Structure 1
C-alpha cells in the first residue's frame, strides 16, 4: 500500500509523505468517509479540522495518521497557511503513526466535496474512541433517537444533548451512523464522545426497565381532545413555554417523571402506530401554531425544558 507514497524532501519535513491521487491508501481513506460497513470493520473514523484533532489528541486517543493539505511546489514557507503550517512546523505536538501531504484535489477526494475543505485543510485518521456506558446511578436522562437518518440532524441532536448534560443515548435501528462524516462535522465531533447503546424496540424496553426510565415521545402539540399535564407557569400566558404531556396510563400519577428517556423520531407521525409503542407518554413544546418542528429543534427545546423542570423540582415545592 505504501509503495506509491513519495517522500517530498524540499521544504517539507522528511516524515511527511506525499499522497498521490490514484493510490491504494487514498482509496482506503475514501472508503472510511463513504462506506459505513468498511468504517465499522476498520473501527476507524476520518475527522477534519485542527480543533477536532487537538481534542482527540488531548483525550489521549492515538492518531493513526494526519494529513496536511499543501500544494505540490510552494514558492516558500509563507505560501503554506494556517492551520496546515501548525502541524508542519510542530509535528511533534501532534503525535501520529504517519504524516501525509495532499493537494487540495486529493483532500477533496478523501473528504468529499461536501466537506468543503480549505486549501490548507487538516484531517486525521483515528480509531473509534471507547466510552463506557454510564451506570444506572449516573444516568437520569437519556436521549433515544429513532429513524434519525439525516446525519446533520443527528449531529445537531448529539451536540445539543452533550451541551445540556444528557450524558448518553440510545440509537434504534434505522438511525444513521454516529461516525458518518456529516454527523461528525454537524456535531463539531460531539458524536465521537457520546456513549450509546443500540437495538430494536424490544431491546429498548428492556433497557428502560433496567434503568427505571420513563419514555416520553416528542410529538406534535395537540390543541384539544387529550387529557394533559401542562408545566406552563402562571402569569406567563402570552407566549409559548413549558411542556405539554399526555397519554398517561390510568394508574400513573400525572406529574413530571424524575427519570426520563426522551424519544425523538424522524418517522412521520402517521406511521408511529406501526412502529412506536403506543403506551409511551407524549410530550410537546407549545407553539403558536401546530406545525411540526424539525427533529433537532424539537429535541433541543425539549431537553432544555426537561432540564429546567427537573432542576426546579430539586430546588423546592414549586409545582411542575
Structure 2
C-alpha cells in the first residue's frame, strides 16, 4: 500500500507570507535617514525648532480626537504598524481602525512607521504602544478669558522642569483657575514631557509668555493682585491665621477667633514683604499667584525675580516640598477660603 506523504510546506515560507494591503494614502517612513523622521525627532528635541515651525507632536488617539473635536486641523497622522506583518493579527486597534478608515481623522499627510521609529521620534520616556497614533499639529489657537472672568491666574517664574510645568497646569485647570503667565525664563508648554504630565492640557489651556515689565501691565489691565508664594520666615512659622468670611480680612488666630462662625481657619500664612506687621491684611478677590522654581529653597534672585514692594506673600509650613505640590495646595486652599467667603 502506497504511503501518503505529508506536506512539508512551511505556512510562513515566502510563498505563503501574509501580505497586508496598505492604503495608498499612507507613506511608509523606514529609518532615521528619512528627512520626515528627522523632522519629527527635531520637533520633540529642539524647543527653538518647535517654535520656528509652530508645530508639535501629540501622542495618543484620545488627545488627537480632542483637538479634532475643537476643529483644530491635523497636519500629519502617524500610524504605528510593522513593516511586514506575518499575520493580520499583528495590527490591532487603534492603528487598525485608521488603516481601515484613514479619514476618520482628517489630515494633510498620512504616514506609517514601525514601533522602533515611533520610539525614536517620541523618545524613550513616552512609552508608545505597538499600535500607537501620533499627530503633527500646528500650535492650537489660545483664547484668553475675558477680564470679568479672570479672577484666578497662575504665574510661573523660572519653572523650567517640564514635569513640574505639566503638573502645575494639570492642577490649575482641575481647580478652575483661568490661565497661565510664563516669564521669559520659564519652560515650554509644548514640550512632550509637559504634555504628558498635564494630560495634554498644556496644549489648549490659556497661556501668555512675557517679561516682568509686561506682567505688571497685564496685572494692572486685568485688575489682578499679585500674591507671591514664598517659604515663611522663621519668625512667622509659629503663627496661624484665620480669614473673615464677611470681608476677607486676615487675623492672627486665637482660640476665641477660631470659634467664631464668621472665621475660616487656614494652614496658609499671609504677610507683606519687608514688614513683620500682620495687621491690616486682606485677601484680594482677584488673585495672580506667583510660583518660582526657587520656592523649595526659599531663595529668589532679586535682580531678575518679579518683586513688587508691599505685595502680599503666601506660604505653607512644609519644608522641602516640591513646587507642583506647594502650588496645588495653595491654589486649592485659596479656592476653599473664597468659596466659604460671603464677599468674593
TM-score range, shorter-chain basis? Answer: 0.7 to 0.9
Q: Give runs of aligned pairs for residues 1-320 of structure 1, distance below 5 A.
A: 10-21=20-31, 22-222=33-233, 224-225=235-236, 229-231=241-243, 234=258, 241-247=266-272, 253-267=280-294, 268-274=297-303, 275-277=305-307, 279=309, 280-285=311-316, 287=317, 290-313=318-341, 316=342
Give the equivalent residue in structure 1 for 2:12. none
CA contact 1:228–1:246 (8 Å) conserved in 2: no
Match of 2:189, SS? coil
User: Could you tell me how far apart the structure 2 residues matched to 1:76 and 1:123 are?
Assistant: 23
Match of 2:300, SS? helix
TM-score by length of 2: 0.81
* Total equivalences in the alignment: 302
CA gap of 1:277–1:228, structure 2 versus 1, over 3 A, is: farther
CA contact 2:271–2:313 (8 Å) conserved in 1: yes
User: Could you tell me how far apart the structure 2 residues matched to 1:12 and 1:77 are?
Assistant: 12
| Shift of residue 118, structure 1, vs aligned partner | 2.0
Match of 1:264, SS? strand
CA gap of 1:241–1:254, structure 2 versus 1, over 3 A, is: closer
| Shift of residue 276, structure 1, vs aligned partner | 3.3
TM-score by length of 1: 0.87
CA contact 2:74–2:135 (8 Å) conserved in 1: yes
Unaligned runs of at least 5 residues, structure 1: 1-8
CA offset digits 1:235-260 (Å, max 9, x no partner): 6xxxx953211116889941211000
Which segment is superposed worse, 241-250 or 173-182? 241-250
| Shift of residue 228, structure 1, vs aligned partner | 7.7
Match of 1:26, SS? helix
User: Could you tell me how far apart the structure 2 residues matched to 1:253 and 1:154 are?
Assistant: 34
User: Could you tell me how far apart the structure 1 residues matched to 2:76 and 2:83 are?
Assistant: 20
User: Could you tell me how far apart the structure 2 residues matched to 1:167 and 1:113 are?
Assistant: 33
Which segment is superposed worse, 243-252 or 255-264? 243-252
User: Could you tell me how far apart the structure 2 residues matched to 1:299 and 1:165 are?
Assistant: 14
CA-based RMSD? 2.6
CA contact 1:159–1:190 (8 Å) conserved in 2: yes
Match of 2:153, SS? strand
| Shift of residue 223, structure 1, vs aligned partner | 5.1
CA contact 2:118–2:128 (8 Å) conserved in 1: yes
CA contact 1:169–1:197 (8 Å) conserved in 2: yes
Give the equivalent residue in structure 2 for 1:3. none
CA offset digits 1:2-57 (Å, max 9, x no partner): xxxxxxx8332221211121211111111111111111111111110111111111
User: Could you tell me how far apart the structure 2 residues matched to 1:45 and 1:128 are?
Assistant: 7
